[in-house]
Amino acid sequence: MSFGQGGPQSQWDPWKPQSQQPQQQPWSSGESDNTPDWAALAEASEARAKRRRLFLIGGGALATVAIAGAVAVAVVSANGSGQASDGPASQLPGTADIPSATATAPSFAPTSAPPPLDPKDFVASAKKDKAPLSPDLLFPGTQLTMGETVYKKGPTADTRTCGSAVQGSLPKVLNDNDCTRLIRVTYTAGDTAVTVGVAVFDAEAQAAAAKKQADKKSIVRSLSGGGVKSFCTGAVCRSTTNSYGRYAYFTVAGFTGGKDVTEKSTEVFRAGDDLAEFAFRQIRGRGEAQASAAAEG
């Protein structure tokens, strides 16, 4: 039902384009023909309220979508460059094109440290072996402990005529290789005695040659006295020969009571080996001390 004048008109709908609101006339209190249709007005009001609710619901949905879109953009911005891309996923850069996140390790210029000094070089020739040398420096103290055995230090000797302090074939060996000095020392443990003789040469090659030329008859003379009884003057004894650097070192070991050494005389063999090892350590230690001093200087 229409109201007002002008005949029937299409009902105004705010959601339709080109729709116009009808011109309403002032209400009058005249006859029933001019009385508003209250039922129609109620229906129109209800329709407008319903459309408003739908509009609000729709607007809320659109706002939700907009918020979700903003979150998506924010996530992309946090994980990427912050710019949206309209291209498909296939247009993303390949793995090889993505720069690595690994930090580049700092590089340093190569350095070359000097090689360590060889201690043997300092005892290989008289030109470099300049440290003081004497029986007490080479064999210090009053006793020596090797393992569980304690050896008491006995007499010492230092001679420049090497041949006079050795016997058998050894005088010739030392003289042929120009031995310049022979240092001797005796150690005892019970009735076992050992004399160590260290022959000094100018060069390592001479000491090596003396070691090679020595045989079973090349024996250093035992050194007694100072409370040490004579030994290895006529009895069978055990001898050793070796060299290190410009030094050749010899041992002769036996019993102080004149008893012969046999294969079962394990204490004599052990004593000879202990003192030969000690002589080697002392000569090598001499080289180590000089090498250390040269490195620090």
Q: What is the pLDDT of residues 86-95, one digit of tens each?
A: 444 444 444 4
In tens, the pLDDT along 95-116 reads: 445 455 555 666 655 666 666 7
Beta carbons within 10 angstroms of residue 291's beta carbon: 19
Distance CA 60, CA 65 (A): 9
Closest CA to 246 of 218, 217, 287, 214: 287
Q: Indicate whether this model's pTM tops 0.95.
A: no
Residue 136 has phi, psi (to 5 degrees) of -75, -25
Residue 142 confidence (pLDDT) above 60? yes
The ranges assigned to domains in the chain are: 34-75, 125-296
| pLDDT score at 66 | 46
Range in 8-22, 147-161, 232-246, 278-292 with the lowest mean pLDDT: 8-22
Q: The domain at 125-296 falls in which architecture?
A: 3-Layer(aba) Sandwich (3.40)
C-beta atoms surrounding 251 within 10 Å: 26
